[in-house]
Amino acid sequence: MIQVVCAVILRDKKMLIAQRSEKMKLPLKWEFPGGKLEEGESEEQAIVREIKEELNIEILPVKKISSHVHDYGDFKINLIAYLCDYVAGEIKLLEHQDYKFVEFDKLLDFDLADADIPIIEKLKILL
């Protein structure tokens, strides 16, 4: 099972979602950006590293939202989500093909990765 951390990055009450490129797994799906946890890293360290690598920005993890297993059939992930503040930097798309800041009520209008749906359920309670 792959351990994946992802960030729900808040700015002006909107949340950042990013669209996976055609070359990535789950092509063109929207997601909360992040990636695989590496050995020896804390979840917070991994999320800060991944967001710098993928979007060129600094974030601050504020609160763990959820952790749950999702089975895509050919692979299985444990998706760990953190609510994060946007700290600094200008967004550059280094891996994804697009991004948007979206109000909570609009998140489900996007074709999100299946594993991300439970995160939105949890967010509803937190926000």
Ligand X SMILES: Nc1nc2c([nH]c(=O)n2[C@H]2C[C@H](O)[C@@H](COP(=O)(O)OP(=O)(O)OP(=O)(O)O)O2)c(=O)[nH]1
Among 27, 28, 36, 89, binds ligand X (CB under 6 A): 36
| 8-16, 22-30, 60-68, 99-107 -> range binding ligand X (CB under 6 A) | 22-30
Q: Which of 77, 76, 5, 79 is nearest to 36 (CA)?
A: 5
Q: Measure CA 104 to chain center.
A: 14
Site mask for ligand X (CB under 6 A), range 40-79, x = bound: -------------------------------------x-x
Q: By CB under 6 A, is residue 17 in contact with ligand X? A: no
> Of 74-113, which residues contact ligand X (CB under 6 A)?
77, 79, 113
Size of the site for ligand X (CB under 6 A): 16
Among 10, 16, 19, 33, binds ligand X (CB under 6 A): 33
Determine the 3-state secondary structure of 82 from DSSP.
strand
Residue type, 66: S
SS3 content of the chain, % helix, strand, coil (to 5): 25, 45, 30
Q: By CB under 6 A, is residue 34 in contact with ligand X? A: yes
Contact 101, 27 (CB under 8 A): no
Contact 14, 93 (CB under 8 A): no
Q: Which residues bind ligand X (CB under 6 A)?
A: 4, 6, 24-26, 31-36, 77, 79, 113, 115-116
